[in-house]
Amino acid sequence: MEEDKQFTPKINYDQLFVTLKEHWQTQGIKPKLVLHVCCAPCSTYTLEELASITNLTIYFSNSNIHPKEEYQRRALATKKFVKEFNAKHQTNVLYMQDQYNPLKYQAVVKDFSLEDFSEGGIRCAACYNLRLDQVAQYAKQNNYDYFGSSLTVSPMKNSDKINEIGYEVSTIYDVKYLPTDFKKRGGYQRTIEISKEYNIYRQCYCGCTFSAIKREVNLEAVKCSALQYLSEFFNIDENNNE
């Protein structure tokens, strides 16, 4: 008789989050949380979920994004949304931004020869690891109770892999990881709705050159559009501060 294959039950990371959230509320706990975000759209629903129940800091750490001007655009759009969200909801979400270091991401890809792997595979896992490692370091250095990521709100991202890596990284830095699957319970749909409400820029590729090439994105056009956005924003901001 053929032996039964070992069955590993799928972990419901969204239920783990809901259970933890209920525990916080029951015990009157408001933990200090730093959340990695990859862009403004992905930060929308996560702020809605977390801003009132945690002392939340948004951490923009995405050295995988190319070109630099697109990185700056996404960072600025995220910072702008956090500010507008705070004003509207009377919250005090903080915004922090990591240094842009594309050479670090490129080194990970080249050192492990990940250039030819398909999107969603091992190269993306290495990218998740890089960014979760950065936010875990920040959490440890600044005495946060938890760290996590908004990446799980995207249906294009492997939430199981993101959570697995998050837990692995948490053991390295001895800081708690927040399990999530933000796309559940209508989370991804809410990102679309909130993005429309705040008129938030929604990008057409994850950020890396590999994703852009796969989607046949014109990176020169992306750069020009980003430069125009940055120019218009700083002109408006400068006029408002005159």
Provide the residue range defining the domain that includes 182: 13-240
Dihedral sign, Cα of residue 127, residue 225, residue 59, residue 11: negative
Q: Is residue 162 assigned to a domain?
A: yes
State how many domains the chain has.
1
Q: Is residue 5 assigned to a domain?
A: no
Q: Is residue 8 assigned to a domain?
A: no
Q: Is residue 3 assigned to a domain?
A: no
Q: Is residue 170 assigned to a domain?
A: yes
| CATH number of the domain residue 114 falls in | 3.40.50.620
pLDDT along the chain (242 residues), means of 10: 60 98 97 97 97 98 96 97 98 97 94 87 95 98 98 95 98 97 97 97 91 92 95 66 45
Neighbours of 144 (CB within 10 A): 24
Q: Is residue 143 assigned to a domain?
A: yes
pTM of the complete model: 0.92
What are 28-62's pLDDT values in tens digits? Answer: 999 999 999 999 999 999 999 999 999 999 999 99
Q: Is residue 166 assigned to a domain?
A: yes
